[in-house]
Amino acid sequence: MGDYEFIQENSSWAKLWTLITSLLILFLILIIGVFFSTFFYDILYSIPYVDGWIGFFTLNIKNLTIFGLFLAHLIGGLFFIPSPDEIIFYYGLIKGNNYLLALFFSTLGYMIAQLFNYYFGKKISPLIMHIISKKKVYDARRYVNKYGSWGIFLFNFLPLPGPLLTFALGIARYNFTILFVLTLAGKIAKYTVLILSYLLFV
């Protein structure tokens, strides 16, 4: 056991039972959501002004205005919604948006999404710990603490799933300040390169 003597692992049956129970609950929620989606959709659009607000948000995202860039990065920055952020941002520049405003609001939307990813991962960490090996989680956390600074930066600088990494590090309860600074630095560096490419070649 060595360094892991203080870690009490759950039995394989306990992990399996937790996993099956969690999947059944998620499946039940999905069925209820699909069953009532049409019903709630009709109710939503019957509320005064809601139709107009939905149209307003949809139009801004479709046209990639500054507000649309913010919304696209806020939604696309969630770990369960894959989004080509680089393409969206670059297309926003092509649409004629001010590049400093585009940089600020795109990054702002993305970082708000990362706050959700991290704290959601942190909240469900006890549940995840019942399913996977605690030793592996602590091994991964030690590895990231030792070598992960460049990894976090590159995950957000390169077209890699940075939001998924933030969620995973939330589960591992990685240092939030370090994660936030490196994520922000990687995103700003990436978009700065895209802005320079736009200015030089368009």
Residue 187: CB atoms within 10 A of its CB come to 24
Q: Is 86:194 a contact under the CB 8 Å cutoff?
A: yes
Taking the CA atoms of 110, 113, 117 and 122 in sequence, report the sign of the dihedral they define.
positive
Q: Is 129:137 a contact under the CB 8 Å cutoff?
A: yes
pLDDT digits (tens, 9 = 90+) for 18-67: 556 656 666 676 676 666 656 666 666 666 676 677 778 888 989 999 99
Q: Which of 3-7, 167-171, 190-194 has the highest mean pLDDT?
A: 190-194
Tokens encoding 6: 């203080």
Q: Is 48:81 a contact under the CB 8 Å cutoff?
A: no
Q: Report pLDDT for 3.
A: 47
| Alpha-carbon 149 to chain mean position | 18
Residue 88: CB atoms within 10 A of its CB come to 17
Q: Report pLDDT for 109.
A: 97
Whether 8 is in a domain gets the answer no
Q: Is 171:128 a contact under the CB 8 Å cutoff?
A: yes
pLDDT digits (tens, 9 = 90+) for 143-171: 666 666 788 898 899 988 889 889 888 88
Number of domains in the chain: 1
Whether 37 is in a domain gets the answer no
Domain that holds residue 57: 48-201
Q: For tokens 């149209």, what's the residue?
A: 55
Whether 24 is in a domain gets the answer no
Whether 72 is in a domain gets the answer yes
- For the chain, give the mean pLDDT: 80
Whether 196 is in a domain gets the answer yes
Whether 68 is in a domain gets the answer yes
Whether 22 is in a domain gets the answer no
Whether 32 is in a domain gets the answer no
